[in-house]
Amino acid sequence: MFRTLAITGCLVAATVVNASDLKPVNDALLDQMEHFGVTQQNWDSAEHASVTFPNAYHFTRHYVVSPGDAVAPEAWKDEQGTLDLTALRGLDADGEHDLETLLRYRLKNHAMVVLKDDRLLHQHFWTGMTPESTHLDMSVTKSFTAILAGIAASEGKLDMSAPVESVLPEFAGTAFEGVSIQDVADMNSGLDIKTPPFLSWDPAFTESQEWNGPNDSGLVGIKDYLVTIKDRKYEPGTHYQYQDPNTEILGLIVEKSTGVGLAQYMQDKIWTKLGAEGEAYFQADPTGATVASGGLNMRTRDLAKMGRVIVNGGKNHQGDQIIPAEFLEALWDGNDRVKAAWKVGKEAAIAPDGWYKDQIRVLEIKGHKFLTFVGIHGQTLVVEPETGVVIAMNGGYPQTETERMNIMLFLEIVPAILDAAAKL
């Protein structure tokens, strides 16, 4: 299934920082942006996405995740057979358009990198972004959090079959009591949380994290919110139900099990081994807890490098196993539990032959089987090991959780790129 990548390397000099050092809000940037009506309270609105998503970590407390003195692959070079988006076609509600139109104007895409093995087939950076620009990856973060849990489990520090309260005893008496850590990772915990239309979370969730600045909710940090969740709607393991609190619990479990913060663990286990071209940034709440469900900011090219690791069976460019092979094999195989849970979830309407495991979707669409990390504004990593194709993109689609965005992205754009890239 996995393809071996033969890549030459070059030394990239950098300095490893302590990822446990919490950085403050960037008041100078806030003062600059306020002149244009952008504030800490509205920075994540659709109107401001093109300017704030590449700068998102400045609006909250955050950690710096260093690439360290990594040996990184040489810079990718365009080769003959470069992907031409204007020559590819896909549908929107009003008919067929070329993919550049769909991406730039309909999906509000900000950046995209397409790889095939060690070749760069395409990259673009719109809305003022450059290859060096970071971007808020929102729920793509979830997949990184689950991979870190998989690493901790492979090291013998975490038992995914154990109940949540065995690691976090303070959650006895909450909706998480008796739920296995694996069911939390698979979004099968059965939580009963009332959410407004077009949101996957209770507004009190973001208030506790001070995502939009200080507030009068009385909740100081994500744990204050999580312990208020008392009810379950479904029996654990029976329904795939996308809920951010699951990921926040998983992040706390990784921290408790490993004894280090999530940002530091990511730096130690992934970022200093990835060959990343730049720093990542992990947003945090007022207590210093990472926003494990949606707080990662990184370069789009570095997101693509994570895809290359997956194509290579979890190994980096030096042959080191970053992601446990057994984690990836279990992900690709799925199991009866996650497949049945997916069938009763709302996403099965678009991709009936799929599953959600360890905060990652595995989809079978138009003859392609690929895994995908997904953010609610079009932030996406797609990996198809059979062809060696990786698609990393960041975007600012204005409305979250919409059928049109998902249809355009996963039924039109991604299959068209995979079809074309496989021939190059």
Residue 163: predicted pLDDT? 98
- Closest by Cα among 357, 368, 365 to 406: 365
Residue 80: predicted pLDDT? 52
Both tokens assigned to 323: 């992601």
Q: Across 66-149, where does the E strand assignment appear?
A: 71-73, 89-92, 95-98, 109-116, 119-125, 134-136
Give the separation between CA 201 and CA 243, rounded to whole angstroms. 7
Q: Across 292-396, where does the E strand assignment appear?
A: 296-299, 354-357, 360-365, 368-374, 380-384, 389-395
Sort 165 into a burial class: Cβ within 10 Å, 0-12 / 13-18 / 19+: middle
> Across the strands, what pairs with 241?
none
Residue 3: predicted pLDDT? 46
Q: Can you list the domains of the chain with their CATH numbers?
A: 9-23+51-139+265-422 (3.40.710.10), 150-251 (1.20.58.710)
- Closest by Cα among 340, 421, 357, 380 to 149: 357
Sort 334 into a burial class: Cβ within 10 Å, 0-12 / 13-18 / 19+: middle
Residue 123: predicted pLDDT? 94
Locate tokens 């690691």: which residue?
A: 167
Residue 11: predicted pLDDT? 35
Strands 368-374 and 71-73: unpaired
Residue 159: predicted pLDDT? 98
**Residues in the chain, pLDDT under 50:** 1-15
Both tokens assigned to 395: 């975007």
